[in-house]
Amino acid sequence: MNAEVRSRCMRRSRARRALSLLPLLIVGLLVWFGQFVAAGALFISVMATVMIGTLVPRCALFGPMIKQLRSGGNCTLLTIDDGPHPQHTPAILDILDEHRLKAVFFLVGERAAKHPYLVREIVARGHEIGNHTQTHPAAMFWSLQAPQLWREISGCQETLMSICPEHPPRFFRPPAGHHNMFTSLIVQALGLRMLIWSARGFDGVAQNVDLITRRIRRRLKADSIVLIHEGTPVAVEVARSVATMMAESGLECSTPPADLSFSDDEMVVERRAAP
């Protein structure tokens, strides 16, 4: 990626970091003047806000994101994370063909590099590929600093563009949906938009296909963005069940329109659906 673009992005990241330290300076001054209660309250408030903005996927505190289609029509979007997978991807592609559904596959760069033919097959069948980082460091992505985030996001972008140069990713999705104060700066610098979701069944941890499908069905409506995964023990079964449910819903399921806009920046805490 362009070195000048990276340099400019890193400067903006350093400025954002410096600004984020200002509340800690105020906390220090309050302690200096003996205002311990006020210092503690400010510190807790700042830390809570930062953690919510980082760990709540649909919280747009640190930058714009797409949380639903906002088309005003009868459309919905299916997104599939963590591929490509040598067994799951071909099976899921066949399921989508059977139900005449299109999807966005958010791919991990190092996995795509191992299976480039699957990336090309996804595109050949009319689906879209998205950026899901180069190595998928789900447990620590939220804590990465700007240079590390740049390597993850730009690395995946370069990998996918080398495989399908005529179909560069338009969207980025962070692992587990976690993102910090630097993520949106890097995403925008690379010409991407962050796309989250509005309906999921927690299939990354659950293995009850009926329960997963019911959770998604409760949130499925026009303009929904649905999330499922590859690489799980029930990935193909979930894809088949969810695809059937979406096809029967009467909603149109295709790739995102070219003019897909950002969602309103309201803060939404997604609750786990009850069984």
Enzyme catalytic residues:
81, 229
DSSP codes joined into one string, 59-102: --TTS--B-S---SSSEEEEEEEEE--TTHHHHHHHHHHHHT--
Is residue 102 within 8 A of residue 227, CB to CB? The reply is: no
Question: What φ, ψ does residue 106 adopt, rounded to 5°?
Answer: -85, 110
- Give the SS3 label for residue 106: strand
Sequence length of the chain is 275
Is residue 224 within 8 A of residue 77, CB to CB? The reply is: yes
Residue 19, CA distances (Å) to 12, 59, 70, 141 in order = 11, 20, 33, 21
Residue 192, CA distances (Å) to 2, 74, 153 in order = 15, 25, 10
Q: Would you tell me the crossing angle of helices 146-163 and 3-20 to the nearest 10 degrees?
A: 150
Residue 181: both structure tokens together: 């104060």
Would you tell me how many other CB atoms lie within 10 Å of the CB of residue 274?
Answer: 8
Is residue 222 within 8 A of residue 251, CB to CB? The reply is: yes
Residue 90: both structure tokens together: 């071909």
d(CA 12, CA 18): 10
